[in-house]
Structure 1
Amino acid sequence: MHQVLFYIGDFPVRSFGVMLSLGILAGLLVSYYVAKGQGRFQEEVLDLAFYAILGGLIGARIWEVMFSWDYYGSHLWQIPAIWNGGISVQGSVLGGLLAVIWYCRKNKTDIWPMLDTLAPGVLVGQAIGRLGCFLNGCCYGIPHQHLGVVYPAGTDAYYAFGAQPLFPAVLFEAAWDVLVLFLLLFIYKRKPFDGFIALSYFLFYSVGRFVLEFWRGDSLRTFMNFKAAQVSSAATVIIALALMFYLSNRQRRTVQKNRQKLNIKD
């Protein structure tokens, strides 16, 4: 792991910041590619990128600070220092989602098709960003002798567990993101209704995150000994399934109404 890739004078170029930036850029390019392939939303993807990125960064930091207030409450000057790590994927998705919804409502853009267009890019950004977490030595796993990685001194992982081999949870999460990405791209043109791709993203990512949290060594625990990320993942799965059911029924009712209109005309 290399927390600092190189120096420009006395300024350290940190691996986390570099990978985060590459993830944002790659995610934007993938979403634009998807939009171009369907001949829709190319300009909108570029226009809303700033708002989605800003909302994602703010949401990611607020989520992390909120669940780590024991530290940040006594280190207030560290709250804006996202270049040192300490942002949450789930907070990023929520903040970015709210920004996209705001943009779509303001510009009278169909929300569900837009979210479908953006979902593959989000997965690419998450996968690359998780590589930054690994290089930074954060978001580490529990001690594991067979699939363990020894983090160097100076990382959060070393501070927590020393030189013990730790399960590389973020690498597995990155791999899961890539797997879900290919699945969504495969079914994209076969989606039964608008919103199916976006909701599938929330569903599959949350299932993977819930499972991988059992091997995370840095997560906060909540009620019944579950972790905060598992609780939010479970809630996301329930909401995604409920919305899938709602949108599917709405699509079916729309099809039935159109058929009835055609029969009346005939």
Structure 2
Amino acid sequence: MHSLYLFYSNPVAFSFFGFTIHWKGIITMTAVFAGILYCIHAGKKNWIGKKQIFELFFIGLPLSIVTARIYYIIFNWGYYKYNLIEIPMLWEGGIAIHGGLIGAFLFLFMYAHNMGFSFWRLADTIAPGLLLGQSLGRWANLITQEAYGEAVNLSFLYSLRLPDFIIDRLFIYGSYRHPTFLYSSLWNFIGFLLLLLLNDKYLKKGEVFLVYLLWNSLGRFWIEIYRADSLMMEDLKIAQAFTFLVTCICLITFPYRRIKGTADRHPLS
């Protein structure tokens, strides 16, 4: 238990030669490499090599971090317009996953076009890996005390059978909070398992990606009900508006592609 206390009480894992390594970075990179390993495995079935997977992640990931930061700043411009010097300070926190996903899939589309790949084939390959990475990466929010929920009674957290090292870290701004990081982590991991189950038997080309978008959006819309640090526009939670729009697009696109037969083409097309 002493080692767990050190883990959650100190965001710094270790330092060497003047470099400081944070637990958030370790967890994030673990999540990234777990997603990469899955995508390499999935790529073998979709005729996508390791080189392409690494290019997608190691070029697409930095770009998605930039768009995630831009997205966050846009919806917090009331603060940043008076603190311009803080805009590049990523180490202080402040990125939005939906901004990152927008950047990631714009890059994916351009990469597929330039390389002569099918966008749907690439998207199907990486979608489950993204859910796996998101599931693991959410644990970084526990360390940084980000993505926290509304205030709850301590008895509620004990009713969830959470260990003390999680409960202690959920004490934020004078109150215990909904473990929304955990809701997100479990939802994404269940979605990862669901895509593994449905992929080969029931889903056609492009539909793994669409189910990923749908699952991710439904979960985020629900979890935002309990979030206390959401990006807001007046009284509207930005994430809920975004996920509602994505859900509607998926519910239209899924049957449309089946009716038109575009989901039935050869997987290389």
Same fold (TM over 0.5): yes
- How do 1:150-169 and structure 2 match up within 5 A? 150-151=168-169, 158=172, 161-162=173-174, 164-169=175-180
Provide structure 2 residue ranges, at least 5 long, that are not aligned to the other structure: 1-7, 159-166
Aligned length: 246
The C-alpha deviation readout for 1:230-251, integer Å capped at 9, x for no partner, is: 0101011011112112211122
- Alpha-carbon separation, structure 2, partners of 1:254 and 1:193: 7
- Distance change in 2, residues 1:11/1:45 (3 Å): closer
1:247 partner letter: R
Counterpart for residue 258 of structure 1? none
1:23-44 Cα offsets, whole Å, 9 max, x none, are: 22221111111112x1511242
- The match for 1:248 is 258
**Contact 1:55 1:98 (8 Å CA) reproduced:** no
Q: Which structure would you say has the larger Rg?
A: 1
Measured on the aligned residues, the alpha-carbon RMSD in Å equals 2.1
Q: Give the structure with the larger strand fraction.
A: 2
CA 1:17/1:69 → structure 2, altered by over 3 Å: closer, same or farther? farther
Q: 1:170-181 residue pairs with structure 2 within 5 A?
A: 170-181=181-192
Residue 239 of structure 1 corresponds to which residue in structure 2? 249
Q: Which residue of 2 aligns with 1:40?
A: 47
Partners of 1:92 and 1:16 lie apart in 2 by: 17
Identity, in percent, stands at 28
Structure with greater helix percent: 1
Structure 1 unaligned spans of 5+: 256-266
In the aligned structure 2, how far is the partner of 1:30 from the partner of 1:82? 27
Ranked by relative contact order (alpha carbons within 8 Å, sequence separation 6 or more), the top structure is: 2
Which of residues 20, 25, 29 is equivalent to 2:28?
20
Q: Return the alpha-carbon distance in structure 2 between the equivalents of residues 186 and 253 of structure 1.
A: 19
CA distance in 2, matches of 1:51, 1:86: 21
TM-score by length of 2: 0.84
Structure 1 counterpart of 2:129, which letter? Answer: G
Does 10-19 or 166-175 show the bigger shift? 10-19
Q: Do residues 83 (structure 1) and 91 (structure 2) align?
A: yes
CA spacing shift, 1:125–1:109, aligned 2, 3 Å: same
Deviations 1:209-231 (A, max 9, x none): 000101101013336x4411101
TM-score, normalising length from structure 1? 0.85
